[in-house]
Structure 1
Amino acid sequence: MSDKNINDRISAYKAAFASGEIQQTHQRLVGIVQRLRTEFSKIYQGEFSVASVMHGYIDFTYFYLQNDYLKNHKLKFAVVFNHQQAHFELWLLGRTKEVQAHYWEKLKDAPWVDSEAMPEYSIFEVTILANPDFDNMMGLTESVQHAFDALSQEIVNTLKAHESWS
């Protein structure tokens, strides 16, 4: 971050909002995540509970998925749209920072975990769709779903293989 104070940044901030492009694009992207959440709710009915879409300031839009296994271990998945990178990620989250730190320690040798540093908000964050085609909702949904299926199953299998971690 630069050394400028907030007053020095206001003109650039106002200019960025002046055209309305940021607001319109952000609103459309949030709508895409909401449609993705609706599709996941249908696809995973009976397998996962799918929470409402949440907004993390301007940087993340996401929804949680949880099943009994994850809930019993104080964990949940989040399908996250990272606005800065304009891509989709899968996060594994713990109910508390302590739970997250516990599982990060146990999982840090897994290929999808950064063994050098635990992310600020999760146990790990993995890109599941790097270049979404926002104009093809069906293809986007299928791509995110297939990546979620494969990775979530691998994660749960890894967790189950180490039940003594809890």
Structure 2
Amino acid sequence: MSNKSLRARIPAYKMAFASGELQRTYKDLVSIVQSLRAEFSKQYKGQFTVANVLHGYIDFTYFYLQNDYLKKHKLKLAVVLNHQEVQFELWLLGQTKDVQIDYWAKLQGVRWVDQDVMPEWSIFEILMLADPDFDNVKALSERIHGVFAELSEEIFTTLKVYQ
């Protein structure tokens, strides 16, 4: 983080917006996440409730998935586009910070859990797709769905062991 005053950072901020590229790129990326959300909603109808697309500040665009098991344990899965890293991630979230802390402690030793530092917004974060090809949305979508199917199954198996 910069120690510069807000006023001193404004010129760089204005420059980033000047060409319109940032806004167009952000809008296109959000649109891809919205399409993924719609596909997940269709594909997992009856299996998961899929929430609307949410936006972090400018850093994350994501949607939650929840089924009866997750709901009962106050957990959610989130498919996340990390804008800073420009990659897709799968996060396990707790409905409250206390739930997240409890599960982070319970799941120590699980390969996705950073034993030293709990993530700020989740229990753990798994890389789903690094360096996505946004120009081939069909292939990107198939890859995300495939990885989600594998990882979610593994996550549920792991959660049941650690209950």
DSSP-derived class of the 2:91 partner: strand
Is contact 2:77-2:93 (8 Å) kept? yes
* One-letter amino acid of the structure 2 residue matched with residue 9 of structure 1: R
Q: TM-score, normalised by structure 1?
A: 0.96
Aligned to 2:65: 65
Q: How many residues align?
A: 163
Task: Give the alignment's TM-score, normalised by structure 2.
Answer: 0.98
Corresponding letter in the other structure for 2:142:
E
Partner of 2:159: 159
Residue identity (%): 63
Q: 2:41 and 2:2 mapped to 1: Cα distance?
A: 42
Question: Paired residue for 2:140?
Answer: 140
Report SS of the residue matched to 1:39: helix
Matches within 5 A, 1:105-144: 105-144=105-144
What is the DSSP-based 3-state SS (H/G/I as helix, E as strand, rest coil) of the residue aligned with 1:116? coil
- 1:54 equivalent to 2:54? Answer yes
CA contact (8 A) 2:107 2:162 kept: no
Pairing 1:18-57 to 2, within 5 Å after superposition:
18-57=18-57
Aligned partner letter, 1:83: H
Measure the CA separation in 2 of the matches of 1:142 and 1:113.
26
The 4+ residue runs of structure 1 with deviation greater than 4 A are none
Letter aligned with residue 132 of structure 1: P
Cα deviation, residue 11, structure 1: 0.7
The CA RMSD over aligned residues, in Å, is 0.8
Structure 1 stretches lacking a partner, 5+ long: none
Say whether the 8 Å CA contact 2:93–2:121 is kept in structure 1.
yes
Q: State the AA in 1 paired with 2:30.
A: V
Paired position in structure 1 for 2:90: 90
Point out the more displaced range, 13-22 or 106-115: 106-115
Q: C-alpha distance in 1, partners of 2:110/2:126?
A: 12
